[in-house]
A and B are shown apart, each in its own frame.
Chain A
Amino acid sequence: MELFILSPILFPLLGLLINAAFGRRMSERAIGGVATLAAAASFAVCLAMFGQLTASEEARLTATIAPWISAGALNVSFGFLVDRLSIVIMLIVTGVGTLIHMFSVGYMHGDERFQRYFIYLNLFLASMLVLVMADNFLVLFMGWELVGLCSYLLIGFWFRNLKNAEAGRKAFVVNRIGDVGFLLGILLIFVTFGSLSFADVFAQAEARGEALAGTIGLITLLLFIGATGKSAQIPLFVWLPDAMAGPTPVSALIHAATMVTAGVYMMIRASVLYELAPTTQAIVAIVGALTALVAGASALRQLDIKKVLAYSTVSQLGYMVAACGLGAFVAADFHLLTHAFFKAALFLAAGSVIHGMEHGMHAAHGAHVDAQDMRHMGGLARRMPITFVAFLLGGLALAGVPPLSGFFSKDEILLDAFKHNLPVFALLAVSSVVTAFYVGRQIALVFGGRPRSDAAAHAAESNWLMTVPLVALTVGTLFAGLFNFPTTHPLTEWLAPVVRHGEAPKFDVALAAVFSALAIGALAAAWWLYRNPERAQTEAETALGRFLARAWYFDEAYKALVVKPFYVISTVCAQVIDVGAIDGAVNGVGRLFRDLGASLRGLQTGFVRNYGLVMLAGAVLVVAYFVLNAR
């Protein structure tokens, strides 16, 4: 039974080991096949678990492998838990993960480190499942750090280019800042509740929540700092756009569908605690809504096809976080689910576009152009029809056009905000219009009009390895909205035993109609404005364009406020304190003894009889001492 519960983690590990041990002698297809099959097997096991969990409301699968830390009052075991919440995320991770593994076989074709790529990808899958299946905060933190490591490795996968390596490092460092908060939160949980297991902590919090309100507020705030790192919220979101330096399937899997939602998952998991901390809730909601707007606005002026999607991801994560802040944890989970589908579809479509552009570049023997720059694209709808349809449907879902999945999940969040918190609602509403606008702009620039470069003119549709996952994800994008269809709310019912949630607000036709109309209007306006692609160029050159394109100068602000002072302090430490004080002390000790030796060297005459004389003097002293003392 325990092996069954652990098998979703073990399958990717097995694939990893096979590829690591024998990968050198295996063909690309074999390596990719092993990795993809491992992911698929993991998905199949998750489906079987899902079947078991449908049996009753209280059904949950637990497995404890071994005690991990047992020190005094601290007892933590390697415990895993599959309940109604984790199985949802596990199905997303393994399902979308399998499709992206398959896509990668085509996308990474011919890369010199093909084997290593799939080892990392399997490692990520296993790590993400450890994070999701943890039954206590420490195992969750372990998975949290493991996915961070995989993210770092894959962002800097093409490390020969220094910029990619720097992007990986930036992601790592920025995430560490959040992790400090997270770790402090975990420590405070232990100090407060004397345990780290979810069951114990939540039961105790429910029992004596009123008395501990202040402490729980601090705990949830610290955990939220962790979430701002991992889920790219203000003020720590700056790493995610840079993370696009990694291969595009990685962006789809790690930096859109799964890893970046870990913060949201953690908050849903700890919903009991958040419900007890209204102040934290308010902060979370505002931060999420602000992030949604700031990142959405930044996406308006991006020229790199992946950067648009990256800011869009930050913005959508803002929606989920805001939903958590509003107490709408199910809505957050729902949006996480639909977002995983449509954003993965969008990223894979973008990957397909990049792949097609590179193919076109080779075919046309044209000048080398940046295959990710939208200014060189255009007219790709005819050249790459399947990719176009996938991108279009994914984009419409992102924009919130009914009846696609994104419409339902976003509507639920907006509705909650409308009912409970009007300032947050205002921010989210504006950013929803902004979202539709940048989606329209992107579709117009990439697929509309005429080709603007030889590469675009000769681009070709990708092969089946890439289009099949694309189509599968597009189908998911179409129907994922059914998972929590407004009248029946199946997801809300499914999660009811695990996740705190009040009454699901009644579907408001008027609100939905207004936002649908706004989304379609914004899409149409963008499409119409960007019929002239020159506009993208001229806009980017204005002051506002630069402001948005540089994401409100967050990076520059950090450089001036954090990095520069840090360098100054480091320089002082190195040049003044280290060289002056520490080295000075060390050298001073050395000099002291050298000078002492120099002044004493005269005593060493080198004449044997002098030494004998000294010995005699010593002997006389010793004898005299005993004689005079023995009285």
Chain B
Amino acid sequence: MNPDLPILVLLGAVSIASALGLLLSRNAIYAALFLVLNFGVGAVIYLLLNAPFIAVVQVSVYAGAIMVLFVFVIMLLGAERLSPGENPPGTSFQRPLAIALSGLLMGLAIYVLFARQPPAVAAPPPDSSPLAVGLSLFGPYVFPFEVVSVLLLVAMVGAVVLTRNR
């Protein structure tokens, strides 16, 4: 029995609760804050899973930069209030079908997880210090890393061009 499991269960409960809060909230700002909470819980889980570098990036990039951007846009547009509204005509099947399909997917995931036990591997814990991650990024993964930098540049230019006042 894993000693971390009780902590994980607690974190999982918070994580699912915040995700449901996002799903059901009527206010965009609340939804964003629920998401921040979810990301923060995620960071702690990463720490427990021996991934300190990812945990830090999760907090700084996701919970920090991206969510600030979301909140900023919500404020800018003044779109906090979310009206429930009606489904457009002819799409009444959307909600039940979506729930049914999601349930099916969930069932498949559970089936895979429990019906098919993978072989137990007695693995030594990997060296996942930021040093190791950095060496890996600039070693075998240097080309994708450079491609991602170009992608970010393109995204920046795209955002500027799209929001420019014409």
Q: Which residues of A contact B (CB under 8 A)?
A: 605, 607, 609-610, 613, 616-617, 619-620, 623-624, 627
Contact = CB atoms under 8 A, between A and B. Distances in A.
Interface stretch (B42-50, B77-85, B90-98): B90-98
Contacts of A627: 108, 111-112
A607 B88 contact: yes
A101 to B, nearest CB: 75
A610 B94 contact: yes
Contacts of A617: 101
A613 B88 CA distance: 15
Interface string B91-134: 10010011001101100100110000000000000000000000
A620 B98 contact: no
Contact of B105 (A605, A607, A610, A619): A619
Contacts of A609: 91, 94
Which 10 pairs between the two chains have the least Cβ-Cβ distance? A616-B101, A620-B105, A623-B108, A620-B104, A620-B101, A627-B108, A613-B98, A607-B88, A627-B112, A617-B101
Contacts of B104: 620, 624
Interface string B32-56: 0000000000000000000000000
A620 B104 CA distance: 8
Given A613-B101, A616-B105, A624-B104, 17 more contacts: A605-B88, A605-B91, A607-B91, A609-B91, A610-B94, A613-B94, A613-B98, A616-B98, A616-B102, A617-B101, A620-B101, A620-B104, A620-B105, A620-B108, A623-B105, A623-B108, A624-B108
Per DSSP, chain B at the interface is helix
Contacts of A613: 94, 97-98, 101
A486 B105 CA distance: 113
Nearest to A610: B91
25 contacts: A605-B88, A605-B90, A605-B91, A607-B88, A609-B91, A609-B94, A610-B91, A610-B94, A613-B94, A613-B97, A613-B98, A613-B101, A616-B98, A616-B101, A616-B102, A617-B101, A619-B105, A620-B105, A620-B108, A623-B105, A623-B108, A624-B104, A624-B108, A627-B111, A627-B112
Contacts of B94: 609-610, 613
Interface residues of B, number: 13
A610 B88 CA distance: 11
Contacts of B108: 620, 623-624, 627
Nearest to B97: A613
A611 to B, nearest CB: 11
Contacts of A607: 88, 91
A607 B97 CA distance: 15
Contacts of A624: 104, 108
A627 to B, nearest CB: 6
Contacts of A610: 91, 94
A624 B101 CA distance: 12
A222 B36 CA distance: 96
A627 B112 CA distance: 7
A616 B97 CA distance: 10
A333 B5 CA distance: 118
A139 to B, nearest CB: 66
A623 B105 CA distance: 8
B76 to A, nearest CB: 22
Contacts of A616: 98, 101-102, 105
Contacts of A619: 105
Contacts of B88: 605, 607
A201 B112 CA distance: 85
A449 B101 CA distance: 113
A613 B104 CA distance: 13
Contacts of B98: 613, 616
A429 B146 CA distance: 103
A212 to B, nearest CB: 77
Contacts of B105: 616, 619-620, 623
A613 B94 CA distance: 7
A286 to B, nearest CB: 88
A620 B108 CA distance: 9
A97 B7 CA distance: 115
Contacts of B91: 605, 607, 609-610
B112 to A, nearest CB: 6
Contacts of B102: 616
B159 to A, nearest CB: 21
A616 B112 CA distance: 18
B108 to A, nearest CB: 5
Nearest to B115: A627
Nearest to B98: A613
A529 B102 CA distance: 115
A624 to B, nearest CB: 6
Contacts of B101: 613, 616-617, 620
B104 to A, nearest CB: 6
A613 B102 CA distance: 10
A463 to B, nearest CB: 82
B10 to A, nearest CB: 30
A600 to B, nearest CB: 15
A627 B88 CA distance: 35
A152 B105 CA distance: 81
B57 to A, nearest CB: 28
B165 to A, nearest CB: 26
A627 B97 CA distance: 22
A623 to B, nearest CB: 5
A619 B88 CA distance: 24
A609 B94 CA distance: 8
B64 to A, nearest CB: 28
A577 to B, nearest CB: 47
A117 B48 CA distance: 100
A613 B92 CA distance: 13
B100 to A, nearest CB: 10
B164 to A, nearest CB: 24
Nearest to B112: A627
A243 to B, nearest CB: 73
A613 B91 CA distance: 11
A623 B108 CA distance: 8
Contacts of B90: 605
